[in-house]
Amino acid sequence: MHILQAIYHSGSSGLAVTHGNSMLRFSFCLTEKKGIDIIKRFKRDGVYMMGKPEVSIILLTYNPQKEKLFCTLKSIVKQTGCSYEIIVSDDGSETTYEDDVKDYLKRESQADFQYLKSENNVGTIKNYLKALNRARGKYSYGISPGDLFHDEHVIRDLFLFCEEKNADICFGDADYYSIHDHSITLYDGLVRSPVHPSLFENRNIKKQKTAFLFGNNILGATYFRKTDIAEKYIGEASGFLTYIEDMSSTLFALGDGVTLTHYPREEIGRAHV
Protein backbone atom coordinates (compact mmCIF):
# COMPACT_ATOMS: atom_id res chain seq x y z
CA MET A 1 0.00 0.00 0.00
CA HIS A 2 1.34 3.43 -0.94
CA ILE A 3 0.27 6.55 0.94
CA LEU A 4 0.23 9.44 -1.53
CA GLN A 5 -0.10 13.09 -0.65
CA ALA A 6 -2.97 14.92 -2.31
CA ILE A 7 -3.12 18.68 -2.73
CA TYR A 8 -5.72 21.12 -3.98
CA HIS A 9 -4.09 23.45 -6.47
CA SER A 10 -4.95 27.07 -5.90
CA GLY A 11 -7.17 28.50 -8.59
CA SER A 12 -8.14 25.15 -10.10
CA SER A 13 -9.82 23.22 -7.28
CA GLY A 14 -8.52 20.06 -8.91
CA LEU A 15 -7.29 17.19 -6.79
CA ALA A 16 -3.81 16.01 -7.62
CA VAL A 17 -1.88 13.07 -6.24
CA THR A 18 1.86 13.36 -5.84
CA HIS A 19 4.00 10.25 -5.97
CA GLY A 20 7.74 10.88 -5.75
CA ASN A 21 8.71 13.23 -8.56
CA SER A 22 5.62 12.50 -10.62
CA MET A 23 2.08 13.70 -10.31
CA LEU A 24 -1.13 11.92 -11.26
CA ARG A 25 -3.83 14.51 -11.75
CA PHE A 26 -7.35 13.15 -11.42
CA SER A 27 -9.49 14.50 -14.19
CA PHE A 28 -11.84 16.90 -12.44
CA CYS A 29 -10.21 20.33 -12.55
CA LEU A 30 -12.96 22.89 -12.10
CA THR A 31 -11.56 25.73 -14.16
CA GLU A 32 -10.84 23.93 -17.43
CA LYS A 33 -13.84 23.93 -19.74
CA LYS A 34 -14.45 21.32 -22.38
CA GLY A 35 -15.55 22.93 -25.63
CA ILE A 36 -18.15 21.20 -27.79
CA ASP A 37 -18.65 21.63 -31.53
CA ILE A 38 -22.38 21.36 -31.95
CA ILE A 39 -23.06 20.45 -35.56
CA LYS A 40 -26.67 19.46 -35.16
CA ARG A 41 -28.99 19.84 -32.19
CA PHE A 42 -32.45 18.60 -31.53
CA LYS A 43 -34.70 18.89 -28.50
CA ARG A 44 -36.13 16.02 -26.47
CA ASP A 45 -37.94 16.37 -23.15
CA GLY A 46 -36.85 19.99 -22.88
CA VAL A 47 -33.11 19.26 -23.29
CA TYR A 48 -31.08 20.26 -26.32
CA MET A 49 -28.97 17.37 -27.55
CA MET A 50 -26.41 16.73 -30.25
CA GLY A 51 -26.51 14.22 -33.09
CA LYS A 52 -25.99 10.54 -32.32
CA PRO A 53 -22.93 10.13 -30.05
CA GLU A 54 -20.37 7.35 -30.16
CA VAL A 55 -20.66 6.56 -26.43
CA SER A 56 -23.34 6.87 -23.76
CA ILE A 57 -21.84 7.45 -20.29
CA ILE A 58 -24.46 6.36 -17.77
CA LEU A 59 -24.13 7.65 -14.21
CA LEU A 60 -26.25 5.44 -11.94
CA THR A 61 -27.26 7.07 -8.66
CA TYR A 62 -29.15 6.18 -5.50
CA ASN A 63 -28.90 8.47 -2.46
CA PRO A 64 -25.44 9.62 -3.57
CA GLN A 65 -23.04 11.66 -1.47
CA LYS A 66 -22.92 15.06 -3.13
CA GLU A 67 -19.12 15.29 -3.09
CA LYS A 68 -18.72 11.90 -4.75
CA LEU A 69 -21.44 12.66 -7.28
CA PHE A 70 -19.80 15.85 -8.47
CA CYS A 71 -16.28 14.44 -8.43
CA THR A 72 -17.54 11.79 -10.85
CA LEU A 73 -19.35 14.35 -13.01
CA LYS A 74 -16.18 16.47 -13.19
CA SER A 75 -14.25 13.39 -14.26
CA ILE A 76 -16.82 12.65 -16.98
CA VAL A 77 -16.93 16.12 -18.54
CA LYS A 78 -13.13 16.11 -18.88
CA GLN A 79 -13.32 13.25 -21.39
CA THR A 80 -12.09 14.23 -24.85
CA GLY A 81 -11.46 12.66 -28.22
CA CYS A 82 -14.84 11.13 -29.05
CA SER A 83 -18.47 12.18 -28.92
CA TYR A 84 -20.53 11.12 -25.94
CA GLU A 85 -23.76 11.81 -24.12
CA ILE A 86 -24.23 11.78 -20.36
CA ILE A 87 -27.26 10.04 -18.86
CA VAL A 88 -27.80 10.46 -15.13
CA SER A 89 -30.25 7.79 -14.02
CA ASP A 90 -31.48 8.12 -10.44
CA ASP A 91 -33.16 5.21 -8.67
CA GLY A 92 -35.64 6.99 -6.40
CA SER A 93 -33.21 8.89 -4.16
CA GLU A 94 -34.55 10.95 -1.28
CA THR A 95 -32.24 13.78 -2.39
CA THR A 96 -31.30 13.77 -6.08
CA TYR A 97 -29.40 17.08 -6.58
CA GLU A 98 -31.16 17.18 -9.94
CA ASP A 99 -31.11 20.95 -10.32
CA ASP A 100 -27.47 21.16 -9.24
CA VAL A 101 -26.50 18.45 -11.73
CA LYS A 102 -28.33 20.11 -14.62
CA ASP A 103 -26.88 23.53 -13.77
CA TYR A 104 -23.37 22.11 -13.55
CA LEU A 105 -23.57 20.32 -16.91
CA LYS A 106 -24.92 23.45 -18.57
CA ARG A 107 -22.10 25.53 -17.08
CA GLU A 108 -19.65 23.02 -18.48
CA SER A 109 -21.19 23.42 -21.96
CA GLN A 110 -22.33 19.80 -21.84
CA ALA A 111 -25.32 20.08 -24.15
CA ASP A 112 -25.85 16.36 -24.69
CA PHE A 113 -27.26 15.02 -21.44
CA GLN A 114 -30.37 13.46 -20.00
CA TYR A 115 -31.56 13.29 -16.41
CA LEU A 116 -33.82 10.33 -15.67
CA LYS A 117 -35.41 9.55 -12.32
CA SER A 118 -37.68 6.98 -10.78
CA GLU A 119 -40.34 7.91 -8.25
CA ASN A 120 -39.56 4.72 -6.31
CA ASN A 121 -36.45 2.62 -5.81
CA VAL A 122 -36.54 -0.16 -8.42
CA GLY A 123 -33.02 -1.59 -8.04
CA THR A 124 -29.84 -1.35 -10.05
CA ILE A 125 -30.89 -3.56 -12.96
CA LYS A 126 -34.11 -1.72 -13.82
CA ASN A 127 -32.46 1.64 -13.24
CA TYR A 128 -29.62 0.71 -15.61
CA LEU A 129 -32.04 -0.70 -18.16
CA LYS A 130 -34.11 2.49 -18.08
CA ALA A 131 -31.00 4.45 -19.08
CA LEU A 132 -29.98 1.94 -21.74
CA ASN A 133 -33.43 2.22 -23.30
CA ARG A 134 -32.75 5.93 -23.79
CA ALA A 135 -29.08 5.62 -24.74
CA ARG A 136 -28.13 6.70 -28.27
CA GLY A 137 -24.45 5.78 -28.30
CA LYS A 138 -23.07 2.75 -30.09
CA TYR A 139 -21.28 1.87 -26.84
CA SER A 140 -22.23 2.39 -23.19
CA TYR A 141 -20.24 2.81 -20.00
CA GLY A 142 -21.88 2.60 -16.59
CA ILE A 143 -20.32 4.52 -13.70
CA SER A 144 -21.28 5.30 -10.10
CA PRO A 145 -20.69 8.29 -7.79
CA GLY A 146 -17.15 8.09 -6.44
CA ASP A 147 -15.69 6.43 -9.55
CA LEU A 148 -13.19 8.60 -11.43
CA PHE A 149 -11.83 8.10 -14.92
CA HIS A 150 -8.10 7.49 -14.86
CA ASP A 151 -7.43 10.26 -17.38
CA GLU A 152 -9.23 12.40 -19.94
CA HIS A 153 -8.81 9.89 -22.79
CA VAL A 154 -10.35 6.76 -21.23
CA ILE A 155 -13.59 6.86 -23.22
CA ARG A 156 -11.81 7.69 -26.47
CA ASP A 157 -9.28 4.90 -25.99
CA LEU A 158 -11.94 2.35 -25.09
CA PHE A 159 -13.96 3.33 -28.14
CA LEU A 160 -10.97 2.98 -30.47
CA PHE A 161 -9.93 -0.30 -28.84
CA CYS A 162 -13.39 -1.86 -29.29
CA GLU A 163 -13.64 -0.62 -32.86
CA GLU A 164 -10.24 -2.10 -33.70
CA LYS A 165 -10.96 -5.43 -31.97
CA ASN A 166 -14.61 -5.54 -33.03
CA ALA A 167 -15.39 -6.23 -29.37
CA ASP A 168 -18.94 -6.51 -28.07
CA ILE A 169 -17.89 -6.40 -24.43
CA CYS A 170 -14.58 -5.26 -23.03
CA PHE A 171 -13.29 -4.50 -19.56
CA GLY A 172 -10.17 -2.93 -18.12
CA ASP A 173 -8.37 -2.47 -14.83
CA ALA A 174 -8.94 -0.16 -11.86
CA ASP A 175 -7.01 1.70 -9.20
CA TYR A 176 -8.46 1.92 -5.70
CA TYR A 177 -8.32 5.02 -3.53
CA SER A 178 -9.77 6.73 -0.47
CA ILE A 179 -9.93 10.42 0.44
CA HIS A 180 -9.57 11.77 3.98
CA ASP A 181 -8.96 15.41 4.92
CA HIS A 182 -8.06 16.46 1.38
CA SER A 183 -5.46 13.73 1.00
CA ILE A 184 -5.77 10.64 -1.13
CA THR A 185 -4.52 7.15 -0.46
CA LEU A 186 -3.96 4.82 -3.41
CA TYR A 187 -3.93 1.14 -2.62
CA ASP A 188 -1.68 -1.45 -4.19
CA GLY A 189 -1.87 -5.16 -3.62
CA LEU A 190 -5.63 -5.53 -3.62
CA VAL A 191 -7.07 -8.61 -5.29
CA ARG A 192 -7.52 -7.97 -8.99
CA SER A 193 -10.89 -8.54 -10.57
CA PRO A 194 -10.54 -10.78 -12.48
CA VAL A 195 -7.55 -12.41 -10.83
CA HIS A 196 -6.23 -13.63 -14.20
CA PRO A 197 -7.32 -11.18 -16.94
CA SER A 198 -5.04 -12.91 -19.44
CA LEU A 199 -7.60 -15.73 -19.59
CA PHE A 200 -9.84 -13.31 -21.52
CA GLU A 201 -7.23 -12.12 -24.00
CA ASN A 202 -8.27 -14.61 -26.67
CA ARG A 203 -11.81 -15.34 -27.70
CA ASN A 204 -12.00 -18.97 -26.72
CA ILE A 205 -15.57 -19.10 -25.45
CA LYS A 206 -15.12 -22.36 -23.50
CA LYS A 207 -12.03 -20.99 -21.77
CA GLN A 208 -13.82 -17.75 -20.94
CA LYS A 209 -16.86 -19.52 -19.51
CA THR A 210 -14.64 -21.65 -17.29
CA ALA A 211 -12.57 -18.66 -16.17
CA PHE A 212 -15.62 -16.56 -15.30
CA LEU A 213 -17.44 -19.33 -13.44
CA PHE A 214 -14.40 -20.30 -11.36
CA GLY A 215 -13.38 -17.13 -9.60
CA ASN A 216 -12.40 -14.72 -12.36
CA ASN A 217 -15.25 -12.29 -11.85
CA ILE A 218 -14.97 -8.91 -13.54
CA LEU A 219 -15.34 -5.55 -11.79
CA GLY A 220 -18.64 -4.17 -13.09
CA ALA A 221 -17.36 -0.58 -13.09
CA THR A 222 -14.88 -1.38 -15.88
CA TYR A 223 -17.34 -2.75 -18.45
CA PHE A 224 -17.50 -0.98 -21.83
CA ARG A 225 -20.14 -2.63 -24.03
CA LYS A 226 -22.06 -2.16 -27.22
CA THR A 227 -25.31 -0.60 -26.11
CA ASP A 228 -27.52 -3.19 -27.78
CA ILE A 229 -25.53 -5.98 -26.12
CA ALA A 230 -25.80 -4.36 -22.68
CA GLU A 231 -29.50 -3.70 -23.14
CA LYS A 232 -30.21 -7.26 -24.28
CA TYR A 233 -28.43 -9.09 -21.47
CA ILE A 234 -29.22 -6.71 -18.62
CA GLY A 235 -32.79 -6.90 -19.88
CA GLU A 236 -32.75 -10.68 -19.61
CA ALA A 237 -31.80 -10.36 -15.95
CA SER A 238 -34.45 -7.75 -15.16
CA GLY A 239 -37.29 -10.26 -14.90
CA PHE A 240 -35.96 -12.02 -11.82
CA LEU A 241 -33.03 -10.04 -10.37
CA THR A 242 -32.82 -6.61 -8.74
CA TYR A 243 -29.06 -6.19 -8.42
CA ILE A 244 -25.80 -7.80 -9.63
CA GLU A 245 -26.34 -6.70 -13.23
CA ASP A 246 -22.65 -7.13 -14.09
CA MET A 247 -22.32 -10.83 -13.25
CA SER A 248 -25.79 -11.87 -14.42
CA SER A 249 -25.60 -10.08 -17.78
CA THR A 250 -22.13 -11.49 -18.42
CA LEU A 251 -23.34 -15.02 -17.72
CA PHE A 252 -26.17 -14.58 -20.21
CA ALA A 253 -23.79 -13.16 -22.81
CA LEU A 254 -21.26 -15.97 -22.39
CA GLY A 255 -24.11 -18.47 -22.57
CA ASP A 256 -24.96 -17.09 -26.02
CA GLY A 257 -21.35 -17.30 -27.16
CA VAL A 258 -20.58 -13.57 -26.84
CA THR A 259 -16.93 -13.28 -25.83
CA LEU A 260 -15.19 -10.70 -23.65
CA THR A 261 -12.05 -8.73 -24.47
CA HIS A 262 -9.58 -7.47 -21.87
CA TYR A 263 -8.40 -3.88 -22.28
CA PRO A 264 -4.93 -3.97 -20.64
CA ARG A 265 -4.79 -0.64 -18.82
CA GLU A 266 -6.45 1.28 -16.01
CA GLU A 267 -9.84 2.83 -16.68
CA ILE A 268 -11.04 4.20 -13.39
CA GLY A 269 -10.15 5.02 -9.82
CA ARG A 270 -12.68 3.34 -7.53
CA ALA A 271 -13.39 4.54 -4.00
CA HIS A 272 -12.22 2.02 -1.42
CA VAL A 273 -13.56 2.06 2.14
Give DSSP secondary structure letters for 166-196: T-SEEEEEEEEEEEETTEEEEE-SPPPSSS-
pTM of full prediction above 0.85: no
> Residue 140 and residue 117: Cα distance in Å, rounded?
19
Which whole number is the average pLDDT over 30-50? 38
H/E stretch holding 48 reads: strand 47-50
How many whole angstroms separate alpha carbon 15 and alpha carbon 27? 8
Q: 7: which strand partners?
A: 16
Q: What is the distance of C-alpha 213 from the center of its chain? A: 24
Average pLDDT estimate for 119-131: 96
Q: How far apart are CA 246 and CA 217, in angstroms?
A: 9
At residue 176, the pLDDT reads 86
pLDDT-derived band of residue 190, with 50, 70 and 90 as boundaries? low
Least confident of 14-23, 121-130, 169-178: 14-23
Does residue 21 have a pLDDT over 60? Answer: no
Evaluate whether 31 touches 13 at the Cβ level (below 8 Å). Answer: yes
pLDDT, average across residues 124-147: 97
pLDDT of 219-259, one tens digit each?
Answer: 999 999 999 999 999 999 998 899 999 999 999 999 999 99
